[in-house]
Amino acid sequence: MLQKPRRWLAYTIELNDLLPHYQQILDRFERSDVPLDGVFGSSSVSTSPPVGILIAIGPAVEPERLDEVIRLVEDLDQLFLVVHDDPSHNKVIIIGAMNLESVPFVAVTPELLGVVRSPGATAASVRSAIAAMPKVQAIRKREAKL
DSSP bridge partners of 82: 56
Domain ranges of the chain: 10-132
Round to the nearest angstrom and report the end-to-end CA distance of the chain: 50
- The edge-to-edge listing of strands for the beta sheet with 38-40 is 38-40, 12-16, 92-95, 53-57, 79-83, 106-107
- Taking the C-alpha atoms of residue 25 and residue 19, their distance in angstroms, rounded to an integer, is 9
- Give pLDDT, residue 91: 95
Q: pLDDT 10s digit of each residue in the chain, 146 long?
A: 457 888 999 999 999 998 989 999 999 999 999 999 999 887 666 656 567 899 999 999 999 999 999 999 999 999 999 998 887 789 999 999 887 677 789 999 999 999 999 999 999 999 999 999 998 875 554 444 44
The answer to whether 55 and 95 are in contact (CB under 8 A) is yes
Residue 58 confidence (pLDDT): 94
pLDDT (0 to 100) of residue 74:
94
